[in-house]
Structure 1
């Protein structure tokens, strides 16, 4: 059952980048998790949905009531077949998906396609769309109680594998959000950032200890997306609710240092907080948490937030 009022949003990296993680059985288990363990959130924003299982995801989501679905998987499939450099060097096997439940108070999920001719960047020198992984950025809108909420579902590729492509994704997303009209916005996904967060709230990006030009750009890109959107009235919902330091709930989304995180007490899970939800304070966030049970179905815990809109 979806929420009787407000808006519940789930963001989750379903770990479908490499077979067999995109198997039919695994997808069915993840759908069952959405239905039986997290009570069918109004909006689900998924990362690493495999292109070859696009029809399965859509079918299974539809069966549990997600009747409005948008994704970037056709971009990934097309680029995967491309022989145009540099795409022959990238796998392009997965993308992002957003789905809206039919019983939600929200309505009219609409995918927005990037443009360099229309929008606030029309006459700008920088068009903010230069990534070679366009399938990692899914932009849409949803209507809630007559108000339009812009959604950004983003997954930054690992910098260790793709270098500058990671910061291109973050830069494009940040710059486009900063130029968008003033309206409520939710940005969520796996940013593969930061490297560390200190108890005093300091965010430590990757390559912070390097001084070359690329490292400085890298640091700026990560900090902009994680804390720089406060200029637009957008905050890290999890941290705004729970603070920093030692807290008594799960505060890790990617269990990089715990072999079987689903078998460990939530506060004992070690790893990185790579998955985030950064949203407009005007949406009146009420709660935000990482669901520990999700580790049974992915190496990432899903992030769930509730908004009083």
Structure 2
């Protein structure tokens, strides 16, 4: 159960960093799936800030290895300001994307607050992809494949250093779960940076319980725990409404255990939910699954534990 009493919903309806259209409809799909009512029934006060505004996606070709850089910066500045405002008010910010490039703004704001409050920041990156490409390595130039590089201080200059430090995250502050699609040059970067990656082979060999015990081992009362939840982390059999689905991900039940174990720490302090694409979904099923998993993340359990 989170120590926060108020959850602030922040919609960022854009596919500015993505490869396909549709992620901009994600925030309202989560609202249709009753994210506010679900969390309210768990006892949280809900503040819905509505949707941020920003530039339309021009769908132009990459320039210098980056697609839509100026628009991505504008959207992330809005996200940064909204997350900063929520944290300053003592609320738990829940960013509803939108694509995963938006994590640059949200986690940069979170890193700034954590440092000011003397908190140790830990980020769980739930994703099929590692998102550590840069403009030099990305095959597509799509910035939703680059937010981790930006947060580690290795991305384009316009998206780095927002937290007041060269890197918003130290390499050991982020743990990846569910990874199963990594570009060749990303593999080299993961090794060079010494990143903690619990890929699908690790989950297959050790199970979700042991994996989560490892991922959460240094979470304590001095930790700000942030979850960046890309819905393509789930197997597409359970979550078809994503732009870049990859077969072989965690099952619904495995993800429930993941969320329940995060909730058990009592340290959840901020959340991104991204890459929900209703245009590719089946009767809003992926949004409904997302809300079920978020409910567990915020403390719902079958029995009193």
TM-score normalized with structure 1 length: 0.37
Task: Report the structure, 1 or 2, having the larger helix content.
Answer: 2
Structure with greater strand percent: 1
Of structures 1 and 2, the larger Rg is shown by 1
Per the normalisation by structure 2, the TM-score is: 0.37
Structure with larger RCO (C-alpha < 8 A, sep 6+): 2
